[in-house]
Amino acid sequence: MNHINILRKLGLVTVLCAAAPWAQAQATYPHQPITMVVPYPAGGAADAMGRIIGRSMGTSLGQTVIIDNRPGAGGNIGTAQAAKAPADGHTVLLAQLSPIVINPHTYTKLTIDPVKDLIPVGVISQNPMVLVVRPGLPVKTVAELVAYSKANPGKLNYASSGSGSINHVAMELLKTNLGVDMAHIPYKGGAPALQDMLGGRVDVMIDAVVQLMPMIKSGQLRALAITGPQRVESAPDIPTTTEAGIPNYVLYGWMGVFAPAGTPPAVVKQLKSALDTAITSEAFKTFVLGSGAQLIKVQSTEAFAQLVTEDYSRWGKVVKAADIKAD
């Protein structure tokens, strides 16, 4: 009996010893570099924002934040990689809304469920989009665009960065709201879509303010409306969609940080604190204002999670109504 008791005690000691490193790791998080997966190519706006955020978060957390660009499949490749990573806070995802709340409705063979397999940490940007036309198109207002479309059935087309992308889905919602018909021309990315817009080969496009504002200011594109609830400081002459007569069409593109599902709440709290410091830093403010986007107030993790849930439902209805497929 004594031998059995001794063995039991030894077994308990073994379990405690095995658990000790895990408990210590949790108490000392982070204990290694943090990987921030960015599911877009290096050199783009999301990548630039990720590097600014990463440097600041690394300083706050006392560890290097490594940017890992994993583009492909509309953001699905990098998103899946982050979701499948160990849920210990040493891998996070910086993503726009498409791979989180649109792709689950447009792709039929996803290996993850982004809403269930990722935890929202915090939103870092929430920016309106802008409706533009090529300068050669004889319209200067939304009303004139509607009139032109109805007077010239089957003539208008619009560009998107790909089937199922945010600007594709947003344009389908716009078509429904305005009761107009435009042919969809999908491209393999935003750059070639914009190139054909600038070349006058496509008539209409909707995309983030930050992407199109330089071309609007130079006169290469004509802006008809901003999709936010108020005009933007960088272009106060452009009316909102509400002012332009588009019903029920206030929408934002957003970008946020996520962690794998199962990440301990205490770790998520540390990540959120570091993220809040990053988005209130002067470096981040300078970048956002310089890009023509808008600064946002710090929001709680719960508010971001609610935004994700609402947008998942909202865009799912649009995708279903327009029968949009990305694969």
Residue with tokens 């400081």: 233
pLDDT in tens, 291-319: 766 778 889 999 999 999 999 999 999 99
Distance CA 263, CA 266 (A): 8
pLDDT in tens, 137-160: 999 999 999 999 999 999 999 999
pLDDT in tens, 21-65: 444 445 589 999 999 999 988 888 788 899 999 999 999 999 999
In this predicted structure, what is the pLDDT of residue 292?
63
Nearest CA to 138 out of 120, 124, 122, 155 is that of 155
* pLDDT (average), residues 123-131: 91
In this predicted structure, what is the pLDDT of residue 257?
98
In the predicted model, is pLDDT for residue 223 greater than 80? yes
Domain 128-226 in the same topology as domain 31-127+252-322: yes
In the predicted model, is pLDDT for residue 124 greater than 60? yes
Residues in the chain: 327
In this predicted structure, what is the pLDDT of residue 27?
58
191 pLDDT tier (thresholds 50, 70, 90): confident
**Which residue ranges make up each domain of the chain?**
31-127+252-322, 128-226
Phi, psi angle pair for 210, to nearest 5°? -60, -30
In the predicted model, is pLDDT for residue 10 greater than 50? no
pLDDT in tens, 69-97: 999 888 999 999 999 999 999 999 999 99
Structure tokens at 153: 């059935």
In this predicted structure, what is the pLDDT of residue 307?
94
In the predicted model, is pLDDT for residue 252 greater than 90? no
Kindly report the average pLDDT of the chain as a whole number.
Answer: 89
Distance CA 45, CA 4 (A): 64
Indicate the CATH number of 128-226 among 3.40.50.300, 1.10.1740.10, 3.40.50.10890, 3.40.190.10: 3.40.190.10
In the predicted model, is pLDDT for residue 15 greater than 60? no
Q: Is the Cβ–Cβ distance between 70 and 235 less than 8 Å?
A: no
Structure tokens at 1: 């009996």
31-127+252-322 carries CATH number 3.30.470.10: no
pTM higher than the cut 0.85: no
In the predicted model, is pLDDT for residue 324 greater than 80? yes
